[in-house]
Amino acid sequence: MKIGILGGGQLARMLALAGYPLGLGFVVLEPAADACAAPLAGHIQAAYDDPDALQQLAAKVELVTYEFESVPAAAVEQLGASLPVYPPANSLAMARDRSHEKNLFRELGIETAPFFEVHDLQTLRLAVEQIGFPAVLKTRTLGYDGKGQQVLRAGDDLQVAWETIGQAPAILEGLIGFEREVSLIAVRSVSGELAFYPLAENHHENGILRLSTCLHDDPMQARAENYAQRLLENLNHVGVLAIEFFQIGSHLLANEMAPRVHNSGHWTIEGAETSQFENHLRAILGLPLGGTAAVKHVAMINLIGELPDASAILGLKNTHLHLYGKAPRIERKIGHITVRETSEQALQERLLQLKNLI
């Protein structure tokens, strides 16, 4: 069985690594010649919306998935005409537009930060009147890792922020003084089976995820799962859906969702009974889902911009190193480290040691 993946980055690479034991093969459609999934898959090197390339892909595979949410709608439509594409087009359409996504959260009774749509300076002023300062202006589409976002703290900031985000359709959100950022990796299979991983607590540096720690018996777990179930069933979603939340007091506010495997779920490779990558594949193939429990106290650190000394990292016990085969470049995710320990204290001690090595 061959699976097509739109995108050939590290998420496609880790999907392929999880798929080989299940006897699966992969073909990626990816414009970059040095795509890091290419050594593990057939590689069609072309733009994601190239109709000939999409036709070639459709001829080689039985099922298509993707590793990023800004996949052109036309590509999904063309592929969807001849074979299953999972997650489904409506999950993609919701997740790629922050306004659609936040309105869906609201319709399903899932709490969010206050938000308003912004089309021009006038609607930005009106939104600020409703929300007040501080607030954050975000482009509706194509933002990631904090890109396409501007924080507003005073009236003077409006015009500059509007120009900085390229005067693109946007939303204005209240800036939340959250206590924690957590994310939930949820999975729904073709047959409707559901599974949820333990929440992870996430820490960012310069807008990029740096550390995800798997939480045990977190008081917010049940609420997060309930929210995820509403989304999965409303969208008739198939595959992994990752949801990022802000926690403030007893409130759990949904920030955004991604209809794909997610960086904050990389800890599951060595840290859970079944990885998010394997469960995504099981879900889209209609196979029973694997267990999602954490096997130990686990955390994942992203390697950003610079390669570490592999032997120093692996010299620490209970540490696993993943390098994606990407050239180091500033702000680029080039690998990650997973740490598994038998207690929370041992995990925190190990993370302190690791911080000195990366």
Least Cβ distance, residue 162 to ligand AMP (angstroms): 17
Residues 6+ apart with CB under 8 A from 256: 95, 98, 101, 243, 244
Among positions 146, 166, 288, 315, the unique one binding ligand AMP when judged by CB under 6 A: 146
Nearer to ligand AMP, 138 or 350 (CB): 138
Among positions 46, 93, 175, 323, the unique one binding ligand AMP when judged by CB under 6 A: 175
Eight-class DSSP state of 169: S
Site string for ligand AMP, 110-139 (x = CB under 6 A): ---x----------------------x---
Least Cβ distance, residue 178 to ligand AMP (angstroms): 6
Least Cβ distance, residue 304 to ligand AMP (angstroms): 15
The 3-state secondary structure of 33-78, one letter per residue: CCCCCHHHCEEECCCCCCHHHHHHHHHHCCEEEECCCCCCHHHHHH
Report the DSSP beta bridge partners of residue 257: 243
Among positions 255, 276, 279, 302, the unique one binding ligand AMP when judged by CB under 6 A: 255
- For residues 265 and 252, give the distance between their C-alpha atoms in angstroms, rounded to a whole number: 19
Two tokens, residue 134:
């501080």
Least Cβ distance, residue 307 to ligand AMP (angstroms): 25
Stretch that binds ligand AMP, among 72-80, 84-92, 171-179, 258-266 (CB under 6 A): 171-179
Nearer to ligand AMP, 180 or 296 (CB): 180
Phi and psi, residue 7, nearest 5°:
105, 140
> How far does CA 332 lie from the centroid of its chain?
15
Instruction: Give whole-number Cα distances, 184 to 19, 26, 228, 247, 341, in Å.
Output: 22, 27, 8, 13, 21
Among positions 173, 270, 278, 341, the unique one binding ligand AMP when judged by CB under 6 A: 173
- For residues 310 and 246, give the distance between their C-alpha atoms in angstroms, rounded to a whole number: 34
Among positions 176, 186, 224, 238, the unique one binding ligand AMP when judged by CB under 6 A: 176
Site string for ligand AMP, 196-225 (x = CB under 6 A): --------x--x------------------
Among positions 42, 84, 143, 286, the unique one binding ligand AMP when judged by CB under 6 A: 143
- For residues 324 and 12, give the distance between their C-alpha atoms in angstroms, rounded to a whole number: 11
Residue 256 contacts ligand AMP per CB under 6 A:
yes
Residues 6+ apart with CB under 8 A from 330: 305
Binding site for ligand AMP (CB under 6 A): 113, 136, 143, 146, 173, 175-176, 181, 204, 207, 244, 255-256
